[in-house]
Amino acid sequence: MSETPDRYDRQKRLWGKKQELLRNATVLIAGVGATGSFAAVDLALAGVGNLILIDFDTVEVSNLNRQLLFLEKDIGRPKVYAAAEKLKKLNPDISIETFFGRIEDAPLEYYEKSNVILSGLDNYEGRIWLNNIAVNYRKVLVDGGMDGLFGYIQVIIPGKTACLLCYPLIPVNIPIPKPCSPAGRERMSYFQLKAKDIFGKLTPPQPQEPSPAVSTMATIIGGLMANETLRVLLNIGNIKSGILFIYAHSLDFVWIDLNRRPDCPVCGIIDKIQEFELPIEPEITIKELKKILCEKFSTKDIEVIYGTHILDDSKKLDDLINKEIGVISKDLRFPIYIKLIKKG
């Protein structure tokens, strides 16, 4: 990356030699649509040296009213490739990596080497997955979203601030919008399969039409997300634990303090609330282990996780011996962490 001492002259007047922190930083942007495209532009212009763009959508004509990085000629192209081209033109001195696909399928080293993960996603399922990844790798997550003239932003610092599942703020009985691109998938699976683990037995919502969106909100939310990312990278100011709601139709900004819950099923792992060893036969399956754990903890419904992945019932335990697994249940006040050891 070439030296461009004059490009950042005006911002160096704010933070001086800290510009080098930006140059050496890596930010992963998950979703380069509305909020993600504005945030990506701000971070590229600020001189964040390494950007990783992940998105599985293609550009469609309805994106053009609010997604800054795309033109009519980009319709049908993967968003990450079109976005990377524009960003390199805005600042040729930065490095950009792209992954055209689902965030779950991206190489894990992308997350490991990032200083900050920025979520520009338009679905709740993806946000929760990124939240788990951020906690697992101890990475700062900057999350934001918009719907019409409403938006929000939240910064998650694992172990310090509330994560997205400390206080799930999305009511699970409201309709979830369809994806904004033909390449998307209906947003049903998280609620159908996993919401009961957190909220109890619920009726999944039905998919609806795409939500309204305007560029002004994308500008506001994307800009705030980029600003918080810069504050984290430069260690400027105090990152508070909570969420900011923006109501643009009345120009109201509402801040809600959220204290981190040590019994949170996701970020509670940092506190190691409960942990012990469990002798087990390596030949048994996760399904058989669940029966043992349900009896041990007097619960009927649990999930077994390793890292950020929920383990399949058919999986055998042989390669999990001497490793730590997590047990989550709506009936357990705290998450349980177990080191499996070979019986006998």
Residue 209: phi and psi, rounded to 5, are -70, 160
Q: Is 180 a catalytic residue?
A: yes
Residue 296 makes CB contacts below 8 A (sequence gap 6+) with none
**216: part of which helix (H) or strand (E)?**
helix 215-234
Residue 250 near residue 149, CB atoms below 8 Å: no
Whole-number Å distance between alpha carbons of 189 and 191: 6
Q: Are strands 336-342 and 324-328 parallel, antiparallel or unpaired?
A: antiparallel
**One of 163, 180, 264, 267 is an active-site residue; which one?**
180
Q: Tokens 């001195």 identify what position?
A: 93
Whole-number Å distance between alpha carbons of 33 and 155: 19
Q: Are strands 303-306 and 324-328 parallel, antiparallel or unpaired?
A: antiparallel
**133: part of which helix (H) or strand (E)?**
helix 124-137
Residue 314 near residue 287, CB atoms below 8 Å: yes
Residue 168 near residue 243, CB atoms below 8 Å: no
Residue 180 near residue 60, CB atoms below 8 Å: yes
**How many C-beta neighbours within 10 Å does residue 10 have?**
8
The pair of structure tokens assigned to 257 is 């303090």
DSSP state letter for 203:
P
CA atoms within 13 A on the CB side of 291: 5
Catalytic residues: 180
